[in-house]
Amino acid sequence: MDKDLKLEEKLKKIRELLKNSKAAYALTGAGISTESGIQDFRSPKSGLWQKANPEEVSSIRAFEEKPAMFYQFWYERYKTLKKASPNITHYFLAELEKKGLIKGIITQNIDSLHQRASSIKVLECHGSFKYGYCYRCKKKYLMKDVFEKYEKTGDFTCEECKSPIKPNVVLFGEALTADFQEAWEKIEKECDLLLVLGTSLLVYPVADLVSIAKAKKAKLIIINRDLTPYDDDADVVIHNELHKVISKLDTLVFQERAVKH
């Protein structure tokens, strides 16, 4: 009973912080999409990096030197992403944006589930798996088409110059996207509330956005299953599965509408 009461008080505080904010942003990580069936990277038992060495399958060096191994890994990833659908947290954030309670979403995810949930302003710090381009001639492709061809023929090369097609995602050894630079500017210039969802805040430089927000005196909310290095800096911290928290928060913030499941 005491635990439930404590959670309810935290949710009410989050509602008030959102209501009183003028320039709130959400920062999301892999934990927001695990409930859509997409594995995260660092969970001790189920994370992708428990099964594969990221330097061998997800680095720019791996793509350049061993593209066949690279594609074998990313094809399996594609099959998972293809089946995934937005969950309640994606829809909740889309509704927050629609109602003007947040100005946009900054995400580390490459799955485009925020956009599929109808979010408009989405800054993708690590790129998007939706598109790709030829590593040599820069011809653009839909990765859906690339992987359908790969599934049938094993071919992952450009139809023009026969060089490998690279998914438009940030690999280990690459710089972050222009979206990340825009996110940094938004946090530094105007953010007064940062809502952090489903990220361990262990991946830099994206995690530095939290430090920037706090340096600008922004309020900080963290909802994540596990501890983060920034918990002590937060105005509200909740450690729980996202769907359990967001389903309650959704009802509290949008009492007039039915909760999407």
Query: Looking at the domain that runs over 1-36+86-126+176-261, which CATH code has it been given?
Result: 3.40.50.1220
Instruction: Give the Cα separation of 94 and 122 in Å (integer).
Output: 10
Q: What is the pLDDT of residue 259?
A: 41
Q: How, if at all, do strands 127-134 and 104-107 pair?
A: unpaired
Q: Where in the chain is the domain with CATH 3.40.50.1220?
A: 1-36+86-126+176-261
Q: How, if at all, do strands 193-197 and 24-28 pair?
A: parallel
> What's the 3-state SS for the chain?
CHHHHHHHHHHHHHHHHHHHCCCEEEEECHHHCHHHCCCCCCCCCCCHHHCCCHHHHCEHHHHHHCHHHHHHHHHHHHHHHHHCCCCHHHHHHHHHHHCCCCCEEEECCCCCHHHHCCCCCEEECCEEEEEEEECCCCCEEEHHHHHHHHHHHCCCECCCCCCEEEEEECCECCCCCHHHHHHHHHHHHCCCEEEEECCCCCCCCCCHHHHHHHHCCCEEEEEECCCCCCHHHCCEEEECCHHHHHHHHHHHHCCCCCCCC
Q: What is the pLDDT of residue 118?
A: 97
Query: Looking at the domain that runs over 39-83+129-169, which CATH code has it been given?
Result: 3.30.1600.10
Which amino acid is it at 120? I
- pLDDT by position in tens, the chain (length 261): 345 559 999 999 999 999 999 999 999 999 999 999 887 655 445 445 445 555 567 889 989 999 998 898 888 888 888 889 999 999 999 999 999 999 999 999 999 999 999 999 999 999 999 999 999 999 999 999 999 999 999 999 999 999 999 999 999 899 999 999 999 999 999 999 999 999 999 989 999 999 999 999 999 999 999 999 999 999 999 999 999 999 999 999 987 444 444
Q: How, if at all, do strands 104-107 and 193-197 pair?
A: unpaired
Evaluate if pTM is beyond 0.75: yes
Q: What is the pLDDT of residue 55?
A: 57
Q: Where in the chain is the domain with CATH 3.30.1600.10?
A: 39-83+129-169
Q: Are the C-beta atoms of residues 58 and 129 closer than 8 Å to each other?
A: no
Q: How much is the CA Rg of the chain, to the nearest whole Å? A: 19
Quote the distance between the C-alpha of residue 135 and its chain's center. Answer: 25
Has 239 been annotated as catalytic?
no
Catalytic residue among 90, 114, 126, 243: 126
